[in-house]
Amino acid sequence: MRLAPLLLQRLFDLGAAHAFGISGDHVLPLYEALADSPIRSILTTHEPSAGFAADAYARLKGIGVAIGTYGAGVLNMVNPIAQAYAEKSPVLVLSGAPDMAGRDPDLLIHHKVKTFDTQRRVYAEMTAANAVLDDPKTAAREIDRVLDAMQREKRPGYLEIPRDMAWADIGVAEAWTAVAPQRDQAALTEAMQEIAIRFNRSQTPAILAGIEIMRLGLRDDLIRLAERYNLPVATSFMGKAVFPEHHPNFIGTYMGAASHPYAREMVEGSDCLLMLGVWLTDTETGRFTSVIARGTLMQVLADEVVISRHRYHHIGLAEILPALLNHSEIKSREFRNDYRPEPPEPDNQSLVAAVFTELSCLDDSRYIFTTDTGDCLFGSVALNAETILNPGYYTSMGFGVPAVLGAGLAVPDSRPVALVGDGGFQMTGMELGTLVRYGVDAIIIVLNNGGYRSLEALGGRRAVWDIHPWDYVAVARALGAEGTRVHTPEEFRTALRQAGERTGVLLIEAVLAPDDISPTLRRLGGKG
């Protein structure tokens, strides 16, 4: 068996039908193998876009692949892979490298930084596991070790393949099977006893559900849990859409002072809050404005459970949710839901409000939403959708448009929609051409407020956020897409309706007034 074909077959078996990247001389042998594999190569315009697209793909399919050349290519992916690590998205970075034969530590080869190991050491900081495949005898084991760590931790991995190793004979490789994590049954029993006692003593129990529910594929279990015990469910900022927002037990999205008022009342007023897969980041907590008494909190993460001051290791969501569903002593509750979505503005509503109101009316599960960072991210809290991919913790700009590429290829019968600000579009918007090339029928909505206005709302000064204006409609047309510009809610409604009736890549530029920001961003900035 040859190294590169084995690696690519492993990835295909895990669900990777596409690989995103840009070729280069050090990675040419791997691309030759890719051409003969069942995995389709997707060439982006810039390596950061490959990383973001692979991240979105991984969030939907459980594995994403980003490929680049040594140094100048793969080091260009550091930021999107850092985001994938922070937000638990299993993206495998495949890097070419100079030949092993004839390597000399003092040899100055193009794309080399300091030593031949510099790049791997950089990626060691943002991967679950990494390896340089420089030995045919150990290559298969190293591939499986990295893939196993990625699947177990839901974080990126890194494999470096020297040019003269891609077609190396690695012998007969055993079939790969994931290593089951060790779980502590005694800890599970004790934790469940404590959870049951707290639930049955409580008067106002509630669930706050976060992104790890989606990462671990436990959405259906969460719904069954809420229905079995009739519990109110709020979602966190990053966890938006992990629980159906039309469900009678849904009480809104919680993010501290930036929350929907009812969600904040129910979460912070609960005397027994079961927090499932929530990361207590600054964005999740509304810039640390959340007020949750520690004594009421039961926090369940992927790999640990924290109840008040008790910490249980080697158990997590995958064990606790089934145990809760099968528990015979926890009482069901009566719960009257008074949650109402924030009403739209009157007829003269802002264009930002109109964007999210109209998008929420798209009654079609085919729509997958991606957001960039800025008010397109904060405003999406008001969006009623089944699937939203956002960079809500790491908050890198540039995610939105490449993420639509990854989402559209991951779910071929979907209609992906990107929400991106003008600043984020200027970073990675050239991927409109990539969307056209590969036939992804995407809708790109550019919220054009003339700069990084979310920084102004959060206390920045004009010189910090003012950016050079582009003609975004002309850019779209130059890249082979269609484009239209809107200034009013009615114009946006018309443009969105027309976009829904057509195929192809369509850009809608929404020109906003300088003070037109979402209610969520206004609350985050302490202005509403």
pLDDT at 177: 73
Please measure the distance between the N-terminal and C-terminal CA atoms of the chain and give it in whole angstroms: 63
pLDDT at 526: 65
pLDDT at 181: 76
Annotation-wise, does 384 bind a ligand? no
Close Cβ partners of 182 (under 8 Å, ≥ 6 residues apart) = 314
- Compute the distance between CA of residue 240 and CA of residue 253 in angstroms, rounded to an integer: 7
70 in a structural domain = yes
Beta strand pairing status for 297-300 and 272-276? parallel
pLDDT at 460: 58
User: Helix or strand or coil: residue 163?
Assistant: helix
pLDDT at 463: 56
338 in a structural domain = no
DSSP labels for 80-134? HHHHHHHTT--EEEEEEE--STT--TT---TT--SSTTHHHHHHHTT-SEEEE--
- Compute the distance between CA of residue 15 and CA of residue 9 in angstroms, rounded to an integer: 10
| Domains held by the chain: number | 3
Answer yes or no: do 310 and 355 share one domain.
no
The residue behind tokens 């639509």 is 404
Say if residues 121 and 95 touch (Cβ distance below 8 Å): no
418 in a structural domain = yes
Residue 410 maps to which CATH number? 3.40.50.970
The residue behind tokens 């009403």 is 343
- Compute the distance between CA of residue 483 and CA of residue 204 in angstroms, rounded to an integer: 50
Answer yes or no: do 501 and 360 share one domain.
yes
pLDDT at 308: 82
The residue behind tokens 């407020």 is 449
Residue length, the chain?
528
- Compute the distance between CA of residue 413 and CA of residue 489 in angstroms, rounded to an integer: 29
Mean pLDDT per 10-residue interval, the chain, length 528 residues: 96 98 95 97 98 99 97 96 98 94 76 85 98 96 97 97 95 76 89 95 96 97 97 96 94 92 94 96 89 91 92 95 93 89 62 93 89 94 92 96 99 97 97 98 96 69 75 98 97 96 97 89 72
DSSP labels for 333-368? --------PPPPP-TT--HHHHHHHHHHT---TTEE
Alpha-carbon distances, residue 231 vs 82, 222, 267, 272, 416 (angstroms):
36, 11, 12, 11, 32
CA atoms within 13 Å, Cβ hemisphere of 377 = 28
93 in a structural domain = yes
Among the three residues 131, 165, 199, which one is the final residue of a domain in this structure? 165
Close Cβ partners of 70 (under 8 Å, ≥ 6 residues apart) = 24, 26, 27, 95, 96, 97, 98, 111, 112, 119, 160
Residue 304 maps to which CATH number? 3.40.50.1220
Say if residues 106 and 115 touch (Cβ distance below 8 Å): no
Answer yes or no: do 499 and 358 share one domain.
yes
Close Cβ partners of 55 (under 8 Å, ≥ 6 residues apart) = 64, 80, 83, 84, 87, 89, 91, 399, 403, 406
- Compute the distance between CA of residue 69 and CA of residue 41 in angstroms, rounded to an integer: 14
Annotation-wise, does 480 bind a ligand? no
Closest alpha carbon to 370 in 440, 319, 420, 414: 420
pLDDT at 169: 93
Closest alpha carbon to 39 in 59, 61, 56: 61
Say if residues 418 and 394 touch (Cβ distance below 8 Å): no
**Domain range spanning residue 401?**
351-524
- Compute the distance between CA of residue 218 and CA of residue 212 in angstroms, rounded to an integer: 8
Beta strand pairing status for 272-276 and 482-486? unpaired
pLDDT at 173: 78
Strand partners, 306: 299, 311
Say if residues 49 and 439 touch (Cβ distance below 8 Å): no
341 in a structural domain = no
pLDDT at 364: 75
397 in a structural domain = yes
Answer yes or no: do 214 and 134 share one domain.
no
Answer yes or no: do 72 and 158 share one domain.
yes
Beta strand pairing status for 415-421 and 443-448? parallel
Answer yes or no: do 294 and 195 share one domain.
yes
Answer yes or no: do 191 and 149 share one domain.
no
Query: What DSSP designation does 173 have?
Result: P
Starting from the edge strand earliest in sequence, which strands make up the sheet with 250-254, in order?
250-254, 233-236, 205-209, 272-276, 297-300, 304-307, 310-313
Starting from the edge strand earliest in sequence, which strands make up the sheet with 40-43, in order?
40-43, 18-21, 64-68, 91-97, 157-162, 129-132
80 in a structural domain = yes
Say if residues 345 and 353 touch (Cβ distance below 8 Å): yes
516 in a structural domain = yes
Answer yes or no: do 503 and 358 share one domain.
yes
Answer yes or no: do 191 and 312 share one domain.
yes
Close Cβ partners of 522 (under 8 Å, ≥ 6 residues apart) = 457, 528
pLDDT at 106: 74
Q: ∠323-325-327 over CA atoms, to 5°?
A: 65
Answer yes or no: do 245 and 125 share one domain.
no
Answer yes or no: do 118 and 256 share one domain.
no
- Compute the distance between CA of residue 256 and CA of residue 264 in angstroms, rounded to an integer: 7
Annotation-wise, does 516 bind a ligand? no
Say if residues 416 and 432 touch (Cβ distance below 8 Å): no
Answer yes or no: do 432 and 515 share one domain.
yes
